[in-house]
Chain A
């Protein structure tokens, strides 16, 4: 890295701070990442595809993707509603709800996992009620989805809130004076404004949900082909010290999340262009 090359400044500390930054990043992030490619370089392509197209692996990817997508969509719906009431309305208990939103961030994943499992298992509070209707949410895909909804709700609410705050109230007032009902205002004014952000936060929630482990394993039941998520499968391969297989699955996971991030970035740039009139 060329130092003192393309910056003209009198602030001191460049060499020290950039040196520490690069050393730390290399040691903590890059060094472990390199070993991933070293392990896979010992494998041939046929071995790699044999691992990936194994029935159990494909099933786990299917389960992870379906549950994460469902959770992201449900959270987009409830997240928007929660953000709306937090921004637009004053009601008793508003501050409590506001701080409750952060709970899934603060509560450790294992703790949330066992409490959700206890709640939705057939002798838990909600599980009991559901069982009388013939529903068994725990140890099924529904259980996985519930756990993923729990972890990702703060992402959606916290990304949409600032956008709602920035919508000029004059638009809504104008619509009201022109005779629009409340649903029309939501559909025609608020929704188009938050739609790009909604996509973005939904995508973030999806990416996060795909990698989630601690919350899910307790409520999932972990049956191969039925309720086994990808991170758990990686864990199982690791416990058998089967590093090549674990790495192959992990690489596909990483590729997936990079693709999601790439799509989200492109979407953001696309909408940014619309907002700025194609100037930027």
Chain B
């Protein structure tokens, strides 16, 4: 479809202008920031890099990040599948309203997401008296971090699964149901095989966002070392303490995880 196919003898100057511009853009805006992370992390040698990673704060933050991401992905996957089933297999008048509500986290700034959670569960929040009765403290705990991460990543999975379910229609499920299959059998044998890869894609997007969430988490976590500090928060603390190379060393963990997810994603795209 290239222009050059049509006019073989003309010099394709448009192509070269566009290529140069986009190469320059990709190099300056995307390649350089990525390489700076690696360069800064290894600036003081491999030993200090390992020392930055192998201390209890980093390891604890890594554990919390993985726990948060895993819980958020798990909850949102279960919810996303049920919600996609409810919104695509049945027609009722609240469908549009529900999908609009589900998309709210996408339009809200992460900081505002954190704000509304701390106003709900914080000391001045209206749920706080109820929580005190049952002796639960939510704000500035890991539970709050997980809750706000679930909020921020909620729409990802349902957004990747729903279009596929809508496009497929409901005839196969209806046929299976007519033949007497129960709900979970229909889901396992008919729906799931079709949405397997979109679901996996959604899970990857959700996991990437959940691991890197910063604004929202930073509001509700209270920055407590060894308690609620996830990796992005630890990076901020190190950076503000002028421990630059430590901050970049910790960043490489997240970059590595992010690149891993990108790799998985392109693997799925090939499917």
Instruction: Using CB atoms and an 8 Å cutoff, list the residues of chain A in contact with chain B.
Output: 1, 5-7, 9-14, 16-18, 20-22, 24-25, 28-36, 38-39, 78, 81-82, 84-85, 87-91, 97, 99-112, 114-116, 118-119, 124-126, 146, 149-150, 153, 169, 172-173, 176-177, 182-183, 185-186, 207, 210-214, 218, 231-232, 234-235, 238, 241, 243, 246-247, 250, 253-254, 257-258, 261
CB distance from A239 to the nearest CB of B (A): 9
Residue of A nearest to B204 (CB): A106
Q: Does B54 contact A (CB under 8 A)?
A: no
A238's contact among B1, B85, B118, B259, by CB below 8 Å, is which? Answer: B118
CB distance from A39 to the nearest CB of B (A): 5
Interface residues on B, range: 35 or more
A36:B119 contact, CB within 8 angstroms: yes
B111's contact among A85, A115, A173, A213, by CB below 8 Å, is which? Answer: A213
Instruction: Using CB atoms and an 8 Å cutoff, list the residues of chain B in contact with chain A.
Output: 1-3, 6-7, 12-15, 18-19, 21-23, 25-26, 28-34, 36-37, 40, 79, 82-83, 85-87, 89-94, 98, 101-102, 104-105, 107-120, 122, 124-127, 147, 150-151, 154, 170, 173-174, 177-178, 182-183, 186-187, 205, 208-209, 211-215, 218-219, 231-233, 235-236, 239, 244, 247-248, 251, 254-255, 258-259, 261-262, 265-266
A213:B214 contact, CB within 8 angstroms: yes
B235's contact among A1, A32, A114, by CB below 8 Å, is which? Answer: A114
Residue of B nearest to A42 (CB): B124
8 contacts between A and B (CB under 8 A): A100-B31, A107-B34, A111-B232, A111-B254, A213-B111, A235-B215, A247-B115, A250-B112
Binding site secondary structure of chain B: helix
B3's contact among A34, A88, A91, A112, by CB below 8 Å, is which? Answer: A88
B37's contact among A30, A99, A102, A111, by CB below 8 Å, is which? Answer: A111
B120's contact among A14, A32, A102, A115, by CB below 8 Å, is which? Answer: A32
Q: What number of A-B contacts does a CB cutoff of 8 Å give?
A: 285
A126:B214 contact, CB within 8 angstroms: no
B79:A11 contact, CB within 8 angstroms: no
Q: Which residues of B contact A235 (CB under 8 A)?
A: 111, 215, 218-219
